[in-house]
Amino acid sequence: MGYLIKIIYSMGEATMLNFVAVSKDKSSHGISKLSHVSTEFLQWLSGFVDAEGNFLISIDRNYVRFRFKISLHVDDIEVLKIIQAKLGVGLVSIENEQYCSFVVQNIDSIKNIIIPIFKTFPLQTNKRVDFNDFYEVVKLKEKGKNLTDVEMNQLFY
């Protein structure tokens, strides 16, 4: 048994109404490594990342690194600790006297936890484009392929 969530997006003069079917079964989201995490939490996380998260691809010569990061004011570090505890991956650290962060850099955690979350619960802002680029490069890396100069230019410019 499930229920519908009414989502209203408003951008300037345009308003869009969308209904999303949600199951009450917390493991029905299909992310096997996160079967212990509720669908509601993962939906919330997707919206939270739309506002506070980022996806980074860094390339040093032929070495590619991936990083998923959420940064908040240090007063909100407990939120990051909850995210870390629920997902079971990443590190929470204090960057300076004002900011703290939750960071996932392990490629297996990115492939098996982070990417499935945002494939199942898509981002709703322009950050979705950043995620899609991030995902495509992870897939290429997984296949052992190197990016061509044209593909790199498309991603970074």
114 within 8 A of 104, measured Cβ to Cβ: yes
The residue with greater pLDDT, 142 or 1, is: 142
Alpha-carbon gap, residue 79 to 48, rounded angstroms: 11
Q: Which amino acid type is present at position 137?
A: V
Q: Is the pTM of this model over 0.85?
A: no
CA 89 – CA 114 distance, rounded (Å): 9
CATH superfamily, domain 25-156, is Homing endonucleases (3.10.28.10)
Closest-CA residue to 117 (of 131, 105, 103): 131
pLDDT tens for 79-134 read: 999 999 999 999 999 999 999 999 999 999 999 999 999 999 999 999 999 999 99
Express each pLDDT in 44-63 by its tens digit: 999 999 999 999 998 887 77
Question: Domain locations in the chain?
Answer: 25-156
